[in-house]
Structure 1
């Protein structure tokens, strides 16, 4: 449950500090963390309730979406923020992509300083070592089990025990949610811009032209998960209105142009002909002017950013 969301206040000329406080249950309070964060200079504090192992952190997800370049996410300890070292590194990657920083008050990590970045690199090396070590242990364990005549895998799963199947399903759902959150910054902004005005086919085609391999059904399922977890607006799932065929062409041309803005109009026309796409008037020969008209329409509708 989220107690308070990211609440923007008036801008200050210096870099703004945004605190994040998390406790495991509703029975616990965040006052102690808030006091430390405010003492460190945080004017805005985002509070969240959820266990350390929980992958669903709506308030954190919203904070990462809304944080601005130059701002710093501050926590009392890194265990208040991340489930693991790998999760911490993913969050910091998201912050770096937005030009934002991270700071832990109790740990020697502050991404705006050389010393803090060195500590972060050490953590990255530790995480890589842990992954390699776990992989090696798994291989050794499987080999030893086979030598003793034991079947690999969970016996509860093989015997279809309900409690074991329930745990497996929960683990699969958690892993799926983690994958969706890890990649959401790459595709969710485009989905927000296009849905529900464009069909799932159009959105998936646009993403594919940007190098993101989504099928319409997988994309709709991912967005539905984000909506269920409170990380996306339910309007994204509304049914698309009927659209004329030229709108599909507009989406296709916008995707080609977005994936490689250096392409000339004539080169895009050549690609459309190789794809056997017919022009808005049903012809087979594309002209640069027809391509330009579709790009201009995409800019007017917000599908492409106007320069």
Structure 2
């Protein structure tokens, strides 16, 4: 059996990690990575470092599922990536979620199926909403910019003057290079 590596997270700097760390140590974690950052944030240095440290045969342990994943689909993705690398996963406070056992793997696969079902429902509702909007004569996207638009006129004039570089024009007008070239072609 490999190492037991823990990950603990709280959402704000004034919250304490002590309860999570104590439980992870009691469960056998010798090394524990931590973050004091909102779970909604994609960049979590502690979690990134933890995942880089894990090797096949190791087990990642968290206090609760919500400490690891931003959402059910994100959680499923993380645990699936762990499984593909032959890394186990245990959540201490969520009952039987222990992918190192057959029953824990089953529970997690049920979660994964529910997350996939949720994604498909969202896609289905989005497609139905777009179809209904088209039936009413509405189409998505931004309204096209007219040649007479002051931004187009300014972009063309600045480009023709050759006083500023493309980057400077884009910075001044707060537009991308692609948008600038589209304006110039109009």
TM-score over 0.5 for the pair: yes
Provide the residue aligned with 1:136 in structure 2: 124
* 2-structure distance, mates of 1:68, 1:138: 39
Matching of residues 1-307 of structure 1 within 5 Å:
15-107=2-94, 108-153=96-141, 158=143
Q: TM-score, normalised by structure 1?
A: 0.43
Describe the SS at the equivalent of 2:140: coil
Gap runs ≥5 in structure 1:
1-13, 161-307
For residues 90-129 of structure 1, the C-alpha deviation after alignment (integer angstroms, 9 at most, x for no partner) is: 2223322332210011222111100001011101111111
Describe the SS at the equivalent of 1:133: helix
* 2-structure distance, mates of 1:88, 1:73: 13
1:48·1:59 contact (CA, 8 Å) conserved in 2?
yes
For residues 22-67 of structure 1, the C-alpha deviation after alignment (integer angstroms, 9 at most, x for no partner) is: 1112122211211221222222211112211111122212211111
* 1-structure distance, mates of 2:143, 2:73: 31
Provide the residue aligned with 2:170 in structure 1: none
Which has the higher mean CA deviation after the structures are superposed, 35-44 or 118-127? 35-44
- Deviation of residue 159 (structure 1)? 9.2
Describe the SS at the equivalent of 2:100: coil
1:22·1:48 contact (CA, 8 Å) conserved in 2?
yes
- Deviation of residue 158 (structure 1)? 4.8
* 1-structure distance, mates of 2:77, 2:15: 27
2:91·2:98 contact (CA, 8 Å) conserved in 1?
yes
2:33·2:49 contact (CA, 8 Å) conserved in 1?
no
2:24·2:62 contact (CA, 8 Å) conserved in 1?
yes
CA-based RMSD of the aligned residues comes to 2.1
Higher CA-based Rg: 2
